[in-house]
């Protein structure tokens, strides 16, 4: 594709240079030229521009066997923030431009809390993290639900009804006076994997989050696939048991009604003496091993049924699993998922799909933080990391 828009070409080249700096700390001008295939004059002009903006700085000298020492470059201390809103807690991270986490903070509230409690938690997170380092390039916020990005409204959030109908930009702009960026929770998590996790190694992959809800982020050619209606990935409301359990969405037999954190907590609390309200509070011995094994097998089978549809439709090379339910069961969950998938997937599709568990901690908030980061390092429709 030949680009004739000089402004666009400049923006793409600038993003390439910034990515070279991001991936190589510190880096010399000549090394940037090698990694971007841009001429030295262009590199000099861009670097001077970035220095004058205060985005980068010189970071000392490095010996050069063939001539004068290299002058090394790196980012100055600039930060972004990411905040994740979940059904029963919110968490945030403060990150530098290299993606290193400077600080994190979390606030809890009961399931199905109203808007006041949720916004209060987000406000506390923002204040706590801003007191460490002032975010410069903005704040990304992700939340579960059907989001209308043209009108900045939550059409419906099944698991956080307190968000239903709100104008999310107006609500959070009342106390966050920085550029704000929004995305649906599961898609943000896929972005975190793309930037910092297993997804770094693949142009195309599917990330499935199994927590309070169940959602899918689809990455195609290094960019999010959202579908014509912008709502692609709602695997949690795939019917796996026609006429089965009532789901909070109003339908029956949805995957989310059988394998979400809330469903698993209901099972655990039905057989243990001391009820818990988050899976992270579970400790070995709280329930009999027989019950735990039964819960593991049932959850794995249900997820396997749901993922079979993903595999048969998309035939992804890689599926990355994450979320509180996945972290709760760990690797043993994979065997049960695969066993069920074998029954329902076309053989060719199943055999070409690998399943991994994400290794990223705070993945949801990190995903939200990639939203402001992407304004520096990516050019929509033209250049993605």
* Strand 205-210 with 318-322, pairing: parallel
Whether residue 195 is contained in a domain is answered as no
Residue at token pair 């916004």: 119
290, 371: one domain: no
Whether residue 382 is contained in a domain is answered as no
Residue at token pair 């002058």: 71
- Longest pairwise C-alpha distance within the chain: 75
Range of the domain at 308: 200-359
Whether residue 383 is contained in a domain is answered as no
67, 109: one domain: no
Whether residue 144 is contained in a domain is answered as yes
Q: Over 80: is that where the pLDDT of 204 sits?
A: yes
Whole-number Å distance between alpha carbons of 319 and 207: 6
157, 24: one domain: no
**CA-wise closest residue to 345 among 321, 310, 377, 380:** 310
Long-range contacts of 334-337 (CB under 8 A, 24+ apart): 334/300, 335/300, 336/296, 336/297, 336/299, 336/300, 336/301, 336/303, 336/304, 337/300, 337/301, 337/303, 337/304, 337/307
- Where residue 231 sits, what CATH number does that domain have? 3.30.420.40
CA distances from 10 to 7, 13, 22, 32, 383 (A): 5, 5, 18, 15, 12
Among 56, 75, 94, where does a domain finish?
A: 75
Q: Over 80: is that where the pLDDT of 65 sits?
A: no
pLDDT-derived band at 383, boundaries 50, 70, 90:
very high
SS3 state at 370: helix
**CA-wise closest residue to 16 among 41, 40, 33:** 33
pLDDT-derived band at 299, boundaries 50, 70, 90:
very high
Q: For CA atoms 361, 141, 88, 90, give the dihedral sign.
A: positive
128, 205: one domain: no
Whether residue 264 is contained in a domain is answered as yes
- Residue 2's pLDDT is 54
Q: What is the 3-state secondary structure (H, E, C) of 158-180?
A: CCCHHHCCCEHHHHHHCCCCCCE
- Beta-strand (E) ranges in the chain? 27-28, 56-62, 70-75, 79-85, 89-96, 101-108, 139-143, 146-148, 153-156, 180-184, 205-210, 214-220, 223-225, 318-322, 354-357
Among 75, 107, 124, where does a domain finish?
A: 75
Mean per-residue pLDDT, 309-327: 96
Q: Which helix (H) or strand (E) is 30 found in, with range? A: helix 29-36
33, 174: one domain: no
- Residue 229's pLDDT is 82
- Where residue 33 sits, what CATH number does that domain have? 1.10.10.10
Whether residue 384 is contained in a domain is answered as no
| Across 171-175, 220-224, 271-275, least confident range | 271-275
Q: Over 60: is that where the pLDDT of 242 sits?
A: yes
Whether residue 311 is contained in a domain is answered as yes
260, 317: one domain: yes
Total domain count for the chain?
A: 3
142, 209: one domain: no
271, 172: one domain: no
256, 354: one domain: yes
- Residue 230's pLDDT is 84
pLDDT tens string 340-376: 999 999 988 899 999 999 999 999 999 999 999 999 9
pLDDT tens string 114-160: 999 999 999 999 999 999 888 788 999 999 999 999 999 999 999 99
**CA-wise closest residue to 33 among 22, 17, 50:** 17
Percent of the chain predicted with pLDDT > 90: 91
Whether residue 33 is contained in a domain is answered as yes
Q: Over 90: is that where the pLDDT of 326 sits?
A: yes
Whole-number Å distance between alpha carbons of 103 and 95: 7
- This prediction has a pTM of 0.94
Of residues 292 and 4, the one with the higher pLDDT is 292
211, 352: one domain: yes
281, 242: one domain: yes
Among 75, 95, 111, where does a domain finish?
A: 75
Tokens encoding 229? 């209606």
245, 259: one domain: yes
């Amino acid at each position: 594709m030949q680009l004739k828009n000089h402004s666009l070409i400049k923006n793409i080249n600038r993003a390439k240079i910034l990515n070279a700096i991001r991936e190589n700390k510190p880096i010399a001008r000549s090394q940037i030229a090698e990694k971007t295939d841009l001429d030295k004059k262009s590199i000099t002009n861009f670097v001077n521009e970035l220095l004058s903006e205060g985005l980068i700085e010189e970071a000392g000298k490095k010996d050069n066997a063939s001539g004068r020492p290299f002058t090394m470059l790196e980012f100055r201390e600039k930060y972004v923030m990411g905040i994740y809103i979940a059904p029963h807690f919110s968490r945030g991270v403060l990150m530098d431009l290299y993606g290193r986490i400077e600080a994190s903070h979390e606030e809890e509230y009961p399931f199905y809390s109203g808007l006041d409690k949720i916004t209060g938690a987000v406000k506390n997170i923002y204040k706590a993290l801003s007191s460490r380092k002032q975010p410069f390039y903005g704040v990304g916020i992700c939340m579960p639900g059907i989001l209308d990005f043209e009108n900045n409204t939550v059409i419906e959030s099944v698991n956080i009804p307190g968000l239903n109908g709100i104008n999310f930009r107006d609500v959070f702009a009342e106390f966050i006076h920085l550029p704000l960026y929004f995305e649906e929770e599961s898609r943000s998590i896929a972005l975190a994997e793309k930037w910092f996790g297993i997804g770094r190694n693949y142009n195309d992959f599917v990330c499935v989050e199994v927590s309070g809800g169940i959602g899918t982020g689809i990455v195609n050619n290094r960019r999010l696939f959202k579908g014509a209606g912008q709502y692609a990935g709602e695997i949690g409301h795939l019917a796996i048991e026609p006429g089965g359990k009532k789901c909070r969405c109003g339908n029956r037999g949805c995957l989310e009604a059988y394998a979400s954190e809330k469903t698993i907590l209901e099972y655990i609390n039905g057989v243990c003496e001391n009820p818990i309200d988050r899976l992270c509070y579970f400790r070995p011995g709280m329930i009999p091993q027989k019950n735990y094994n039964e819960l593991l097998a049932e959850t794995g089978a249900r997820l396997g049924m749901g993922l079979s549809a993903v595999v048969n439709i998309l035939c992804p090379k890689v599926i990355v699993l994450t979320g509180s339910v996945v972290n709760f069961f760990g690797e043993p969950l994979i065997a049960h998922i695969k066993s069920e998938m074998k029954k329902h997937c076309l053989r060719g599709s199943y055999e070409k799909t690998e399943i991994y568990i994400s290794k990223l901690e705070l993945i949801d908030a990190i995903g939200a933080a990639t939203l402001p980061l992407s304004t520096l390092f990516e050019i929509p429709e033209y250049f993605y990391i």
